[in-house]
Amino acid sequence: MILKQILRLSSIFRSAASTHLRRNIGLSAIVFNKAKELDPVQKLFLDKIREYNTKSKQAGAPVDAGPEFQKEMNESLARLQRAYGGGDLTKFPEFKFE
């Protein structure tokens, strides 16, 4: 009888302890990832993305796009306007539900 109660309490204790340890390990992993320095390749990748973002905001258009890109884009827009009946294809459509 006493042995059954001890085993039952030990299983409850084990499950509570394992849950507690899992949570602590999960939280410490998040803190560790934020605290460590980025991998050099990741840092380079993020720097290039940030650089492209600032260039695209300054230019207001695709970065480093030549005249042939603009010509292809205009041709594609004209082809899509013919196929789908015109309208401004550079804006997101507005939907009206009744």
Q: Determine the pLDDT at residue 49.
A: 93
**Cα angle 79, 56, 49; round to 5:** 115
Q: Determine the pLDDT at residue 75.
A: 92
Q: DSSP code of 95?
A: P
Per-run averaged pLDDT (10 residues), the chain, 98 residues: 67 69 65 67 91 86 82 89 81 86
* First-to-last C-alpha distance (Å) of the chain: 71
d(C-alpha 88, C-alpha 70), whole Å? 16
